[in-house]
Amino acid sequence: MRWKAAALSALTAFAAPAALAQMSDGVIKIGVMNDQSGTYADLSGQGSVWAARKAIDDYCKSNKCEKIEVVFADHQNKPDIGSNIVRQWYDVDKVDVVVDVPTSSVALAVNNITKEKNKAFLVSGAAASDLTGKACSPNTVHWTYDTWALANGTGNAVVKTGGDTWFFLTADYAFGHALERDTAAVVEKSGGKVVGRVRHPFPGQDFSSFLLQAQQSKAKILGLANAGSDTTNSIKQAAEFGIVQGGQKLAGLLVFITDVHALGLQTAQGLILTEAWYWDQTDANRAFSAEFEKANKGNKPTMVQAGVYSAVTHYLKAVHELKSDADGAAVVAKMKATPTEDALFGKGEIRADGRKIHPMYLFEVKSPKDSKGKWDYYTLRATIPAADAFRPIDQGECPLVKK
């Protein structure tokens, strides 16, 4: 067994302790990692890469910048691929900050690695509220939205605008259960009533029997506690059953403007959903979107892509104030200490648990006749003020928060 001896000698030769703190190398390197080929490719994907580059361009117009590079990769929604890429980015390619990362399992993995390597992680695409809860980290900022904010926004605001009886259509696994539980709690707290719930297999194809139960329940609101293709399939089939025409409304708990775009207004009309950002809200948003459209096959930016822009802008500010990007935790601490301000998200702040705070908006999808043109999809139904939009800091069980 000669090779075994060789293995042992090699082991002792290379088993030097891992290199300690790396000095920054004169370049700020930003890694955008997301889904570029699957379910989330439209809402994050290359659009997020563009948004990160745009943030750098805009920031460097009015500030003196050193060399800033953007690299990107497709994690294919697999945590092991994502984890492999991010480790390699940090160890070999000297990436300083990772941005976006939809799919909660991948985001949680990146969250751990970033803490271990003391870099920075700006989450825009992932929904998991654990990122600022049990899994919170001094190296992570959760920028755009999370499941709690969506459940709260939709649950609370819908009840206040008259939708006080709810029926839940829930994907039968941990994520769906959590979404249903959180939303139901909000609905009941705001004075609404949950009249029924039904669980569908994940992933589901045929929702007809569940939709019939929902119809018979006579609830005013049908809450969709599911995601991705389950949501779009249930919306399509609800349209076929004429649920919206029958006076009931659908409330999506995890729906993006790209889903509405894919479904078309005929199918999606009347759907109620919560988002952090909409392209047609302010002049600054419209200007950003016009440029985005030119570079991205005529699509409008999603809140996730806008969040990438906003997060990168704030990161660059913090790095410049510190004059170093070497210590990820220090940069994130600086980001938390400085109030946020940018063209797209306006003024805001980052809490001690890493949660970025801004208002959330409750939208209703327009009917085809109300829509003035392509991508004119939403009517604003309510604004959830920043103070109420996110989970109170003492309820997240984040170890960073002192009680």
What residue ranges bind another protein (CB under 8 A)?
Answer: 2-3, 6-7, 10-11, 14-18, 36-37, 41, 45-46, 71-81, 83-85, 87-88, 91-92, 104-105, 108-109, 111-112, 128, 130, 135, 172-175, 202
Contact between residue 195 and residue 219 where contact means Cβ atoms under 8 Å apart: yes
Q: Would you say 131 or 382 has its CB closer to another protein?
A: 131
Judge whether 130 and 102 are in contact, CB under 8 Å: no
* The two three-digit tokens of residue 162, written as one number: 């008259």
CB of 366 to another protein, least distance (A): 30
Measured distance CA(18)–CA(32) in Å, rounded? 26
Q: How far is the CB of 231 from another protein (least distance, A)?
A: 14
CB-facing half-sphere around the CA of 258: CA atoms within 13 A:
19
- The residues facing 72 across adjacent strands are 32
Q: In the 8-state DSSP scheme, what is residue 40?
A: T
Closest approach, Cβ 17 to another protein, in A, equals: 7
Distance CA 400, CA 371 (A): 46
Round to whole Å and give the CA distance between 154 and 156.
6
The smaller minimum CB distance to another protein, of residues 34 and 234, is found at 34
| Ordered DSSP codes for 74-86 | E-TT-HHHHHHHH
Q: Nearer to another protein by C-beta: 37 or 245?
A: 37
Closer CB to another protein, 3 or 67, in the complex: 3
Closest distance of CB 15 from another protein, Å: 5
The residue among 11 and 23 lying less far from another protein, judged by its C-beta, is 11
Among 17, 32, 18, 20, residue whose Cα is nearest residue 96: 32
Strand partners, 198: 169
- The minimum distance between CB 303 and another protein, in angstroms, equals 21
Residue among 81 and 357 whose Cβ is closer to another protein: 81
User: Rounded distance, CA 127 to CA 144, Å?
Assistant: 9
DSSP letters spanning 265-304:
HHHHTT-EEEES--TTSSHHHHHHHHHHHHHTTTPPPPHH
Distance of alpha carbon 401 from alpha carbon 395, whole angstroms = 10
**Least separation in angstroms between CB 26 and another protein:** 23
Quick one: 88 or 379, whose CB is closer to another protein? 88
Q: Minimal distance in Å, beta carbon 184 to another protein?
A: 18
Rank residues 78 and 160 by Cβ distance to another protein and give the closer one: 78
As a whole number of angstroms, the distance between CA 139 and CA 175 comes to: 25
